[in-house]
Every structure is written in C-alpha cells, then in structure tokens.
A and B are shown apart, each in its own frame.
Chain A
C-alpha cells in the first residue's frame, strides 16, 4: 500500500520554542493531508486539513496561529507548533488518502512531542 512518512518520530523541546513536524507521501501525490492529535488513551482528533497550494482548514478550537501548516508540494505537508507549552505535549499524526473516493487513509508513524 501507499506509504506516508512522518518525521521526527519523537521530539523534546523547551517551552516557548517552535517545533516542525514533516509528513511526506512517498509513493503518491497528496493534494490533501490531515493532521490529528491524540492524547493518551483517547482517539484521534482532527486538527486541520492541509491543502496543497492553499490555506489549511482548521477545526473548531484549533489555533491556526499556533499550529502553522504548510503544504507547499504534492508530497510534503509540515506542521509547526509555535511557542510550545507543556499542554501541547501529545502524539501528532498525519494522514493522506483519497477518502472522497472511498479509499483508505494512510497514516504516518506519528510524532511524540514533549514540551518541558
């Protein structure tokens, strides 16, 4: 199946700094990618939809100025957590897939962010 690669798999950063997470589709072009956040023992919560060449669409309650999304090419979307705080510590996962065609979603490995 298709492969989505996410990097880094884990990161520890100091409070107040910014962290960038990359999501790449390795063997297909993804005009749309999705960013999720998952807290321990909870399900995936959609944060935003990343659209190639245009602005991301954020879900209600997600601060777009804090979680910057850039989808500059058909194979790469990035999520930057700006001015990170300990409460931003979570598991961040990206996905891609032609869901509107009834296809499955392909997920990255996830990034464990710890803000200290």
Chain B
C-alpha cells in the first residue's frame, strides 16, 4: 500500500542552525511533492512545490530536494529562527490525482 513517512514526530534545532526534515514514500510515483507549514489550530500553508523532474528548489531560507530513485525529499531551513517552529507536512500528488496525500508531519522546535 502507499505510504508516506516523515522521519520523526519531533525535531529540535538550535537557533541559527539548519533544520533538515525528511519525507520518504513507498508504492507511489508522484508527479510532484509539496511542503506545507501548519501552526497549532490552523490550516496548512503552502511553502514549496517540486516536480518529479526537478532535483532542487529554493525559496529564501528554504530548500527542497527530490530524489525519485531514493523516493525521498529533504526539506531544509537554513539559519533557523524560533518563528520557524511549527509542524511541517509533506504531500504527494500523482499526475492524474486531484488531491494530495499527506505525511504525518514533523513538529519542529527551534530553540533560542
């Protein structure tokens, strides 16, 4: 069955360091992968999208990589700040699907 796994439920990072979150998937051939941020009691907010033919995408302090051979995406936040503390969700969609399938999320805490 299809499965999306995010490396850990919780991750603590010191302020100023790079936070790296992992998303692995099995039995899936996604056309693209997305990363969202979710704050407590709020809906997810889109961060980045990367397509299956792209290796890397950047946006300000954010970087996403996508390795379809390893079936893995890495999400990096450089120079992390306490305001980056939130739950980060990866989501996959196949080319024909009109909906996203979400991973379980990683709760990131950036320690001052």
Chain A residues with a Cβ under 8 A of chain B: 1, 4, 6, 32, 34, 41-44, 46, 49, 91, 93, 95, 99-100, 102-110, 112
Chain B residues with a Cβ under 8 A of chain A: 9, 31-32, 34, 36, 41-46, 49, 51, 89, 91, 93, 96-105
Q: Who on chain A is nearest to B96 by CB?
A: A100
Could you tell me the distance in whole angstroms from the C-beta of B84 to the nearest C-beta in chain A? 19
Q: A107-B44, A112-B41 are in contact. Are A43 and B98 (CB under 8 A)?
A: no
Q: Who on chain A is nearest to B10 by CB?
A: A41
Q: How far is the CA of A102 from the CA of B100 in the complex (A)?
A: 11
Q: How far is the CA of A80 from the CA of B42 in the complex (A)?
A: 20
Q: A6-B43, A102-B32 are in contact. Are A43 and B103 (CB under 8 A)?
A: yes
Q: Which of A1, A44, A49 contacts B44 (CB 8 A)?
A: A44
Q: A43-B104, A44-B89, A112-B41 are in contact. Are A106 and B98 (CB under 8 A)?
A: no
Q: How far is the CA of A102 from the CA of B104 in the complex (A)?
A: 22
Contact call B31/A32, Cβ cutoff below 8 A = no
| Residues on the A chain within 8 Å of B102, using CB | 43-44
Q: Which of B36, B43, B98 contacts A32 (CB 8 A)?
A: B98
Q: A32-B98, A49-B98, A104-B34 are in contact. Are A93 and B49 (CB under 8 A)?
A: no
| Residues on the B chain within 8 Å of A91, using CB | 41
Contact call A109/B42, Cβ cutoff below 8 A = yes
Q: How far is the CA of A99 from the CA of B94 in the complex (A)?
A: 10
Q: Which of A34, A93, A108, A112 contacts B99 (CB 8 A)?
A: A34
Q: How far is the CA of A43 from the CA of B9 in the complex (A)?
A: 11
Contact call A46/B43, Cβ cutoff below 8 A = no
Q: A43-B105, A44-B44, A107-B43 are in contact. Are A102 and B31 (CB under 8 A)?
A: yes
Q: How far is the CA of A46 from the CA of B103 in the complex (A)?
A: 12
- Of listed B34, B49, B91, B99, residue having the most chain A CB within 10 A: B99
Not counting A44-B102, A99-B93, A110-B42, a sample of 7 additional A-B residue pairs whose C-beta atoms are within 8 angstroms of each other reads A34-B99, A34-B100, A43-B102, A43-B104, A43-B105, A102-B31, A107-B43
